[in-house]
Chain A
C-alpha cells in the first residue's frame, strides 16, 4: 500500500493556521462580548454560534456563493489580492475560521466572564492600561479556557468535512484534507488507506482530548 501523507500534513497545516488566526480574532471578540452592554450582543453571539447548529452543507453553500469570484468577498480576494477563495487553501482557511469561531470564542468569553470585575478595576487603579490588564491579569487567570479554546478549535478544524467539500472540493495538495481523502479512498474502494487515515485521526483526536482534560485538571489546581 502506497500511502499519500500529504492530506495529513495539509490537515495539520490548515488546523494550525486556523487556530492561530482564531486566537488573534477570538480574543478581542470574546473580550468585547464579556464586557459590552450593547444591545446587539445577543445578535453577535447568535451569529458566532451558528456553525454549531447549522449543517456544514448549509454553511458551505452560502460560503461557496460568497467566495465565488462574482460574490463578496470572493471578488475582492480574486480581483484585488489575486487569491481565489473557492477551491483553494486560502478559502479553506477563511471558511475554517468562520466554522470554528464559536469553539474559540465561547470558552474565552465564559472564562473572562467568570473573573470578578474587581480584578480589572484593581489593575486600573494600580495604574495599568487595558492591554496590560488583559495580558498580565486576565489571560493568565483564564489559562484553562485558553487551552480549551485553542485545542477545540484545532480539533474541530481537523474534523471538518462538509464545509471543506463544498468550498474546497478534492484537489490534491491544495484542498484534499484527511477527512476528504478518507471519503475519496472509500469511494475508490481503497479500504486500506482509509483505515490508516481514520486510525491516525481517531488516535490523535483521543490524545488531544485526553491532554486537555489532564492539563486542565492540573491548571485548575495550581491556580
Chain B
C-alpha cells in the first residue's frame, strides 16, 4: 500500500494555489491522476519521485517511509525505487538505446535484464541507435523500458502518450497495460485522455486546483456527470450568424464543428472564442462500429 499526504503552495500561471492531497494506492493497482493542466498532477508525481520538495508531507511505500517532514525523513530520488517516464521522454542523446538502459543498472541488477527488456519491447534491432534517430513511439518505448530496469515499486508516467498519434497511442496503451500486469508494479499515470483512462486504470483521482475533487473507479468518478442519457460537450464558439429570428452557432468540439440553432436570448453575451457547454437532453444517438 502506498500512502501519500502532501501540502505545497504553488505559483501557477493563474496565481497562487495550494496543493493539498491525501490518498492511498493499493499495491499493484493502476491509478490515473486526471485534471486540467495546472491542477498539480505533474507536481504530485515529482514530489513522489523526490524531485520536488513539498512544504510538508508524508509518503510511505509498502511500509517504507520515503518522506516524513515531521521526522525529517526525506529519501533522495536516487534512493526511492521509482521508474519515471517523462513527457519529453528525457532519453540521453549521447547514449545509444542500450546504453540508455544500461545507465540505470546498478550492481544488484541482473545484466540479462537489459536484453529481456529490449526483446520485450521489440527494440533489439534498434539497440545501437541514438534516441534522436528513432520515431516518437520508439523513443517512448525506450523511456518505458529504461524506467523498468531498476524494478521500481512505483512506475510514474507523466502524460507519456500525449505527443503520439492516435494509432501509436492505442498500441502503447496496450503495451503499458501489459507491462503493468507482468511486472506487478503500482502505476501512477497522469493523463487527461478519457479513453486512455477508461482503458487502463483501476482507480482515478480527479484533481482541480491542487485539490482532489473525486476519487474511485473510472465509472464511479465520471459516471455521475458524464455517463447518462444526456450528452454534454465543451466547445469553443467559432461564429455566430443571425438568420431570421434565430441565430446559428458554429461550435468547435474536439475536431468536429457542430452547427446549432439558438435563440437571441441564448446568444446574448456570447462571442466567437468563448468556451461553451453544449448539452442535449433525451439523447438517443445511433452508435455504429467503424
Residue in chain B with minimal CB distance to A124? B77
Contact in complex: B88, A126 (CB < 8 Å): no
One of A118, A129, A136, A223 near B103 (C-beta < 8 A): A136
With known contacts A125-B77, A126-B149, A116–B90 Cβ distance under 8 A? yes
**Taking beta carbons and an 8 Å cutoff, which residues of A are in contact with B?**
116, 118-119, 121-129, 136-137, 140-141, 223
Q: Which stretch (B79-87, B166-174, B271-279) binds chain A?
A: B79-87
6 A/B residue pairs, CB under 8 Å, sorted by A: A118-B88, A121-B49, A125-B83, A126-B149, A127-B104, A140-B94
| A121 and B103 within 8 A (CB) | no
Taking the closest CB of chain B, its distance from the CB of A138, in whole angstroms, is 10
A129 to B77, CA, bound (A): 9
Cross-chain contact A128 with B92 (CB below 8 angstroms): no
Cβ contact within 8 Å between B76 and A124: yes
B51 touching A128, Cβ below 8 Å: no
Contact A119/B90 with A125-B51, A126-B104 known, Cβ cut-off 8 Å: yes
Q: Check A141 against B92 for contact (C-beta < 8 Å).
A: yes
The reply to whether A128 and B103 form a contact with Cβ atoms under 8 Å apart is: yes
Q: Is the interface of B mostly helix, strand, loop or mixed?
A: loop
| Cα(A14)–Cα(B175), bound, Å | 59
Report if A129-B78 is in contact (Cβ < 8 Å); known contacts: A118-B86, A137-B94, A223-B93: yes
What residues of A have a CB within 8 angstroms of the CB of B90 in the complex?
A: 116, 118-119, 121-122
The A contact surface, by secondary structure, is helix
**Does residue B129 face the partner (Cβ distance < 8 Å to A)?**
no
Nearest B residue to A222, CB-CB: B130
The answer on a CB contact under 8 Å between B94 and A125 is no
For B150, what are the chain A residues with a Cβ–Cβ distance below 8 Å?
126-127
Q: How far is the CB of A140 from chain B (nearest CB, A)?
A: 4
The 6 A-B pairs at the shortest CB distance, nearest first, are namely A118-B90, A122-B90, A140-B94, A124-B77, A126-B104, A125-B84
In-complex Cβ contact of B146 among A118, A126, A128 (8 A): A126
Residue-by-residue, is B50-94 near A (CB-CB < 8 Å gives 1, otherwise 0)?
Answer: 110000000000000000000000001110101110111011111
Taking CB atoms, residues of chain B closer than 8 Å to A137 are 92, 94, 103
B135 interface hit (Cβ, 8 Å): no
A141 touches B94 (CB 8 A): yes
The answer to the question of B106 belonging to the interface, with a C-beta cut-off of 8 Å to chain A, is yes
Q: A127-B104, A127-B150 are in contact. Are A121 and B51 (CB under 8 A)?
A: yes
Q: Known: A121-B51, A141-B93, A223-B94. Contact between A127 and B88, CB under 8 A?
A: no
Closest chain A CB from B169 CB (angstroms):
20
